[in-house]
Amino acid sequence: MNNTTSHRQTLYVLTADRHFLNLLNQPQLSGKIEQVFSKAINVFIGNQLFTLLSSQLDNAPNSCRLLNKNLALLNINSSDNFQILNGKVSIGDCYWLSFSLCTVWQQSVINFINDKVNKKNYQSFLLKQINEVDFILSEAKSSLFNYQGDNLFYLASAEKLNQLRSDLICLIKKKQRKNLADVIRQFVGLGIGLTPSGDDYLVGLMAFLLLKGNPVAVLYHDFYQGIIQGNEKTTAISAITLKKALDHEYRENMCQLIQSLVDANEINIHSQILNILNIGSSSGSDMLFGIRDALYLTHYFGERYVD
Amino acid sequence: MSTKVVIKKNTYFDSVSLMSISTKANQLDHVEQAFVAMATEMNKGVLRNLGLLTPELEEAKNGDLMIVIKGPSDEANEEILVGIEELFNKKNQGGGSHEAKYATINSAKTHIKESNLAIISVNGQFAAREARLALENDLNVMLFSDNVSIEDELALKKMASSKGLLMMGPDCGTAIINGTALCFGNSVRRGSIGIIGASGTGSQELSVRIHEFGAGVSQLIGTGGRDLSEKIGGIMMIDALKMLDADEDTKVIALISKPPAPAVAKKVLEQAEKCQKPVVVCFLGSQPLPEDKPGLTFAKNTKEAALKTVLLTGVKKEDLNLHSLNWPLIEEVRAQLAPEQKYIRGLFCGGTLCDEAMFAALEKYDDVYSNIQPNPEYRLKDINTSIAHTFLDFGDDDFTNGKPHPMIDPTNRIERLLQEARDPEVGVIMMDFVLGFGSHEDPVGVMIDAIKAAKNIAKQDGRELIILGYVLGTDQDTPAMDAQVKMLTDADVIWASSSTNTGLLGREFVWKGEKA
């Protein structure tokens, strides 16, 4: 490998999370470019997936944000080498990464204050947000949850998704742990695209529902089991996102929304919901379905013991 | 029937692209079913349940893309596959015209740096925030949303004013900026008349009359209906006056509004007097009409305002068809109506068109009711029941709460038309039909069966029901004005040439006195 940097174009890293920066501590690592999108490039290094993001996107776990806006314009293709040698990162034959502008993105820890859920005003807040998300989702035609076409396979997938969603809500409401992990497992990998709708739904659901202090967080182990059992059955990028979700690690936009939901802070919540909606092609709307159900379940458990 | 399966190793697309390709694939010749998706275990499970899982599919990995085609034969399936591959190639090549979507105003402004105007139509409770963001990004704003608090409106207008930006709205439905109609608007020729309107359909009416009289519009700036209230103080109208006074393409300025708060009217008129260009003012319903001043001309109605404005641009009055009232027609209609058919019922989409007809009636009758009557004594308590002469603005919040505007959805008006037709005291039903950008694609066509039914109801009761229609539009509008008017004529509907004439004709048709 030619790892000299003189003939290479510099790609500046704006922000990176600690997982990504930890890579630089390795004396030598090599990986491959997996997928190239206009706003994200996925890289497999070792057994892990990392992502180079466009400056237009928010921060995310295992990622760094580049100064560039459109990554598809770069001469980077699937299967290109991604090499780390003595703290220097080179991509294919054309680029190297400079961290001279880079700052660390650190995700804040979000905790749910348990007795809040019983308060009437928080209950009202949750209801309002459920209605808001329902309204937005009623227009989310790209989501498989809302599929109304005539394609047999998509119809069957949509039916399965909605059935699983209904089963899951029912089991959680009854806190019936017997089949819970199995139902969660069945979500994993169910959907059409690179991050299947079932996975995105679970990511959204867990982001709020499994917060420490949420009445449903006691079911964490069942979620863990279900996802670990299903993890080999979905796409690699989706598998890593689900694992990160189990570790309470989410992209920055999701963290901001969850923080507002926990704090019942309505100031920016509409735009934060829209930021989620606009993730990927349909991932955002699928995640919102998950968040919506998390809000509903939290409201349900709170309502039973409302002050 | 034959099934073909293609596995593309390590190939990936987002779900919307795959759905879109599948939809197009299903439109290819001979396709029974076709779909594409990532080959995850769960997706293969769905295929298994559908009886479509083949050994090849079993072998596919989570990161592979699967294409499944059901067609009449192996040969046909090969052809279909070629078609699907082309769809993938087109997707990869991208290009072509497309609509860009941005999650936020900041993001849109970042991507389109040269953008200078934002049209905002979101739920009222979020609208002020979005408008503020747009102004912070140095964008002029047209705020279509209503239900924005007056405090927010004031703050936004002050901010826009300090930055030299337009803050049109809230509740602003009409504007023509640099020749482009925004939201609801008509296709009018460009010219030297600048319109500033605090009323949407009033501005539209003024613009189409100006067009009909041979002149054109430089800019049409909407202010939103509350701009001339005491609290807002006419900030937008005063700023717009200054802008148009400085605009090289504008030679004459026309203002249209319902009567402003007196203190605000004074401020606006003072600014108008300061303008270097002549200003024509039409504050509908103002009684009495103020006297003209140098550079400042007052008009009683939209038609008069258009005429006075156009004459100031140099058009000769003798060259114009002024469409004076057709008195023989009035006499003919009066003869057809029974003595008990003494009331008008106005069913309007346009608020200002409703106003103008109502004000015309008020000049002759006392018992004029409406959901938008300025006199609270005559404001309808129950909007579902008409009293005496009743004028309804179906675009008002009373009727649109949770429903589309009547210019888009005629359901409310159709039901009411049939209801009014059953009332033996009704002589004339007035209706407007608004053409142009943003409106219904066939506003007359969608009502015509109901109109015929209404006339038939009256006929079966032994009455002649007069329906007086007005089509607001120009010869350049879509759908074609001529075709819309012909539909009315064929259905035995009398049609007026302007909003002003609609009001005058209607009130005269039902007049039971000796002389008009």
Name the phi and psi angles at B211, rounded to 5.
-60, -45
Do A252 and A270 have their domain in common? yes
DSSP 8-state code for residue A109: P
Give me the pLDDT at residue B403, please. 60
CA distances from A71 to A52, A113, A190, B348 (A): 9, 41, 28, 53
Q: What's the structural domain count of chain A? A: 2
Q: Give the contacts of B351 (CB within 8 A, at least 6 positions apart).
A: B199, B200, B201, B202, B372, B393, B395, B396
Burial of residue B361 (CB within 10 Å: 0-12, 13-18, 19+) is buried
A127 and A250 part of one domain: yes
Distance CA(B430)–CA(B101), nearest Å, equals 42
Which of B18, B50, B103 has its CB closest to that of A278? Answer: B103
Q: Is residue A193 part of a domain?
A: yes
Interface with B, mutate which of A54, A55, A152, A187 (most B CBs under 10 A): A152
Segment among A104-108, B201-205, B286-290, B384-388 with least mean pLDDT: B286-290
Q: Per-residue pLDDT for B93 more than 70? A: no
Chain B partners within 8 Å of A196 (Cβ):
15, 38, 40, 42-43
pLDDT above 90 for B489: yes
Same domain, A208 and A159: yes
Task: Judge: A150–B46 Cβ closer than 8 Å, yes or no.
Answer: no
How many other C-beta atoms can be found within 10 angstroms of the C-beta atom of residue B348? 30
Question: Are A37 and A89 part of one and the same domain?
Answer: yes
Residues A33 and A182 in one domain: no
Residues A262 and A219 in one domain: yes
Radius of gyration of chain A (CA): 20
Q: Which of B68, B84, B67, B66 is nearest to B29 (CA)?
A: B84
Q: Between chains, do A193 and B26 touch, taking CB under 8 Å as contact? A: no
Q: Chain A contacts of B22, Cβ < 8 Å?
A: 151, 154
pTM, full prediction: 0.56
Contacts of B395 (CB under 8 A, 6+ apart): B201, B348, B349, B350, B351, B405, B406, B407
- Give yes or no: residues A295 and A201 share one domain: yes
Which residues of chain B are within 8 Å of residue A153 when distances are taken between CB atoms?
A: 33, 35, 37, 43, 46-47, 50, 52, 68
Whole-angstrom distance, CA of residue B85 vs CA of residue B22? 11
Candidate from A78, A270, A277 with C-beta closest to B126: A270
One domain for residues A46 and A16: yes
Q: Do A192 and B38 touch (CB under 8 A)?
A: yes
Cβ-nearest to B37 among A149, A153, A233: A153
Residue A272 lies in a domain: yes
- Pick the closest to residue B67 from B34, B92, B42 (CA basis): B34
Q: Which of A77, A105, A133 is the last residue of a domain?
A: A105
| Cross-chain CB nearest to A194 (options B13, B26, B41) | B13
Mutate to test the interface with A, among B20, B42, B68, B120 (most CBs of A within 10 A): B42
Residues A121 and A225 in one domain: yes
pLDDT in tens, A231-276: 889 998 899 899 999 999 999 999 999 999 999 999 899 999 999 9
> Over 80: is that where the pLDDT of B21 sits?
yes
B88 touches chain A (CB under 8 A): no
Q: pLDDT at residue B118 above 60?
A: yes
Q: Which pLDDT belongs to residue B134?
A: 94
Partner-chain residue, chosen from A150, A153, A191, that has the shortest CB–CB distance to B15 = A191
Residues B290-336 pLDDT 10s: 999 999 999 999 999 999 999 999 999 999 999 999 999 999 999 99
Same domain, A172 and A65: no
> What distance separates the 2 farthest-apart alpha carbons in chain B?
94
**b/e for B65-101, b at 16 or more Cβ within 10 A?**
bbbbbbbeeeebbebbbebbeebbeeeeeeeeeeeee
Among A56, A149, A233, the residue with its CB nearest the CB of B40 is: A233
Please check whether residue B126 touches A, CB under 8 A.
yes
Give residue-wise pLDDT tens across range B31-53.
Answer: 888 889 999 988 999 889 888 88
CA separation, residue B447 to residues A252, B21, B71, B415 (Å)? 52, 39, 45, 10
Q: Which domain holds residue A28?
A: 9-105
CA B340 to chain centre: 37
In this structure, are residues B37 and A192 in contact, taking their beta carbons and an 8 Å threshold? Answer: yes
CB-CB contact of A54 with A70 (8 Å): yes
Q: List the domains of chain B with CATH numbers.
A: 2-93 (3.30.70), 111-316 (3.40.50.261), 327-509 (3.40.50.261)
Determine the average pLDDT of the residues in B17-36: 86
More confident site: A115 or A270? A270
* pLDDT category of residue B446 using cuts at 50, 70 and 90: confident
Is the domain of A184 the same as that of A256? yes
Cβ neighbours for A163, distance < 8 A, ≥ 6 positions apart: none
Report the gap between the CA of A123 and the closest CA in chain B (Å).
Answer: 20
Which of A197, A232, A278 has its CB closest to that of B15?
A: A197
Q: Which residues pair with B120 in a beta bridge?
A: B143
Residue A1 is assigned to a structural domain of this protein: no
Residue B360 Cα, gap to closest chain A Cα (Å): 43
With beta carbons under 8 A apart, name residues in chain A contacting B33.
151-153
Residue B66 near chain A (CB below 8 Å): no
Residue of B nearest to A70 (CA): B111
With beta carbons less than 8 A apart as the criterion, state whether A187 and A193 touch. no
Name the residue facing B42 among A152, A233, A277 (closest C-beta): A233
CB contact under 8 A, B35 and A151: yes
Q: Does B61 touch chain A (CB under 8 A)?
A: no
Query: Is residue A88 one of the residues assigned to a domain?
Result: yes
One domain, residues A140 and A264: yes
DSSP H helices, B337-469, are: 351-362, 397-400, 411-421, 445-460
Question: Which chain A residues touch B if contact means CB-CB below 8 Å?
Answer: 34-35, 56, 78, 142, 144, 147, 149-154, 156-157, 160, 186-194, 196-198, 230, 232-236, 270-271, 274-275, 277-278, 280-283
Kindly write down the DSSP assignment for every residue of B290-337, as one continuous string. Answer: PPPBTTEEE-SSHHHHHHHHHHHTT--GGGS------HHHHHHHHHHS
C-alpha span between B323 and B303 (Å, rounded): 10
Residue of A nearest to B64 (CA): A235
What are the CA-CA distances from residue A201 to residues A244, A270, B305 (Å)? 14, 19, 59
Shortest alpha-carbon distance between residue A276 and chain B (Å)? 9
Q: Which of A80, A105, A130 is the last residue of a domain?
A: A105
**CA distance linking residue B202 with residue B474, whole number of Å:** 15
Q: What is the mean pLDDT of residues A9-15?
A: 85
A167 domain-assigned: yes
Among B22, B37, B103, select the one facing A274 at the smallest CB separation: B103
**Domain boundary pick from A85, A105, A125:** A105
Burial class (CB in 10 A: 0-12, 13-18, 19+), A2: exposed
Percent of chain B at pLDDT above 70?
96
39-58 in chain B: CB under 8 A from chain A:
40-43, 46-47, 49-50, 52
**pLDDT (tens digit, 9 = 90+) per residue, B412-424?**
788 899 999 999 9
